[in-house]
Amino acid sequence: MGDEQRLSPGEQIRAARDAFESGQDFTIAVEEEFALLDPDTLELTSRFEELKAGAAGTELDEHLVGELIASEIEVKTGRCPDFGEAAERMAQRRAQLADLADQFGVALSSTGTHPWSRWQDQRIIDTPHYRRNNEVLQYVVWRNNSFGIHAHIGIRGADRAIAVCNAFRNVLPELLALSASSPFLEDCVTGLHSARTEIFTKLFPRCGVPDAYEGWAAYEEYVRFLYDTRSIDEHTQIWWSVRPHLAFPTVEVRICDAQPDLGQAQALAALIHSLGVRFAHALDDGEPLPNLPHRLIEENMWRAIRHGLGGELIDFERGEVVPARARIEALIDWVLPVAGEIGAAPYLAVPESNAAEGQYARLGNLGSHRDVFAELVRRPRERVVG
């Protein structure tokens, strides 16, 4: 990041285009965000700096980063040539993080929101990036105590990367429905499946479903406009649910809630990777891809937020409402030809229930959302979540 920060915006955009033009196709990197918890109260606890210092000199160190608040920590797989390696690294990183948390007596959780810890009690980590976001966004950034899973897919070609982003817009609701894991927030049973989406994409500027762009030139024109009007002062202030990343040549998918279960996290990342590769092949072969208007995608986004995997989504090609599960199963069938090529096929699956559905089911048995959350927490000296 140091060299990138020394570049002017124009130089950075040119460098990003050049990186895409010479980039490597279909690599994959996965980032998972975890909450740091007091093992007794299960409240969020501001221990990131301690854990980061404790990882110094270990294999985990370079793959462990802070993410906004001091009660949150992120682990990264690093760039992998195929999904089989990425899946192995996801398991390895979770185990490494669990060992580190054990050393410091910290519990871990990985759901889209913490069910009751107050945002007012959290501390922004002290880095130039987050100090700047704090200065610019104020309440918006304070309020964002949320946890997600992101996937970066290597795409060669700047125009091609924009086209893959355009294609991903259409399936963001399906990915959210599959990943929804945040039914509880502010000590409330929200009735939603992804409260995280409401407090992140609906509060942040330049967030949620992006516009479609005709190519890199159109996208670059927009980014330059943001810099020229002093709307942004760094490219990561574009927080869309899918975006071309300017620091390295990847399409980054950011819509998904964090996953309590390792297997479901791997299945979700496998689908995202497979979709990115399948979209690119379709573009190369001249296969038509949908280009839905923003207003229609938002209809399905709300359905995914409210009802998740157990609800219904609109099939716009057929003009019918269909089960969300059927839409995801259709996507898996569509990507299967490429999933085998990238090592993702063994991981593709639709679970019997997503994390939010599982939490609502347990709520019916336990009667308390706090007790439901407690079952999902990985406490010190216990097996890693998933």
Please indicate, yes or no, if residue 8 is contained in any of the structural domains. no
Question: Which DSSP string do the residues of 93-153 spell out, in sequence order?
Answer: HHHHHHHHHHHTT-EEE-SSB-SS--GGG--B--SHHHHHHHHHHTHHHHH--B-EEEEEE
The answer to whether residues 64 and 73 touch, using CB atoms and an 8 Å cutoff, is yes
Lookup: tokens for 206? 């330049």
Q: Does a structural domain hold residue 144?
A: yes
Burial bucket for residue 242 (CB in 10 Å: 0-12, 13-18, 19+): buried
Buried b (16+ CB within 10 A) or exposed e, 120-149: eebebbeeeebeebbeebeebbebbbbbbb
Q: How far apart, in whole angstroms, are the C-alpha atoms of residue 66 and residue 76?
A: 11
For residue 5, tell me if it sits in a domain: no
CATH code of residue 282: 3.30.590.20
pLDDT tens per residue, the chain (386 residues)?
Answer: 344 457 888 899 999 999 999 999 999 999 999 999 999 999 999 999 999 999 999 999 999 999 889 999 999 999 999 999 999 999 999 999 999 999 999 999 999 999 999 999 999 888 888 888 888 888 888 888 999 999 999 999 999 999 999 999 999 999 999 999 999 999 999 999 999 999 998 888 899 999 999 999 999 999 999 999 999 988 889 999 999 999 989 999 999 999 999 999 999 999 999 999 999 999 999 999 999 999 999 999 999 999 999 999 999 999 999 999 999 999 999 999 999 999 999 999 999 999 999 999 999 999 999 999 999 999 997 544 44
Q: Quick check: is 48 in a domain?
A: yes
**pTM: predicted TM-score of the whole model, two decimal places:** 0.95
pLDDT at 1 (0 to 100): 39
4 located within any domain = no
- Give the C-alpha separation, 29 to 298, whole Å: 27
Q: What's the total number of domains in the chain?
A: 1
Which residues have CB under 8 Å from 229's CB, separation 6+?
none
Return the C-alpha torsion angle 189, 191, 192, 193, nearest 10: 80
pLDDT at residue 105, as a whole number: 97
Dist. CA 45–CA 343, nearest whole Å: 38
Whether residue 190 is contained in a domain is answered as: yes
**Strand bridging mode 239-240 / 28-37:** unpaired
Residues 29, 166 contacting (CB under 8 angstroms): no
> Could you tell me which residues are beta bridge partners of residue 67?
69
* Widest CA span in the chain: 57
Length of the chain: 386
133: in domain:
yes
Q: How many CA atoms lie within 13 A of 270 on its CB side?
A: 28
pLDDT value at residue 382: 54
Token pair 């370079």: residue: 62
H or E segment and range at residue 71: strand 69-76
C-alpha Rg value of the chain to the nearest Å: 20
Q: Which domain holds residue 249?
A: 14-370
Scan for tokens 């965000």, then name that residue.
33
344 is a domain residue: yes
